[in-house]
Amino acid sequence: MDAWVIGMMIFISTLLGAFGLFALIWGLKTGQFEDTGKFLDGARFDGEEELKDAVMMEKKKKELEERRKDRRVMPN
């Protein structure tokens, strides 16, 4: 191999490594890896019935929040 091919390979691998390091640091600073609930829910709700129950609970929570918002908006 020629020296310029080896030099180009070293340059490209260094550039890709720097890009990966930048992405990792950005992810850590912005909190991309702080979603512990996702992993816990994945272990807790891994059956089909449990997932359906979880979806129903989320819908109920949203409905309750909407009702509370509606009560706040309407004057007494």
What is the CB neighbour count within 10 angstroms for residue 25?
10
> What global pTM score does this model have?
0.46
Tokens standing for 42? 């994945």
Q: What is the pLDDT of residue 52?
A: 85
Rounded CA separation 17/40 (Å): 31
- pLDDT by residue, tens only, the chain of 76 residues: 789 999 999 999 999 999 999 999 999 998 887 776 776 776 666 778 877 888 899 999 999 998 888 777 655 5
Q: What is the pLDDT of residue 67?
A: 87
Residue 35: phi, psi to the nearest 5? -95, 75
Q: What is the pLDDT of residue 5?
A: 93
Task: Evaluate whether 44 touches 50 at the Cβ level (below 8 Å).
Answer: yes
E strand or H helix at 65: helix 48-73
Q: What is the pLDDT of residue 33?
A: 78
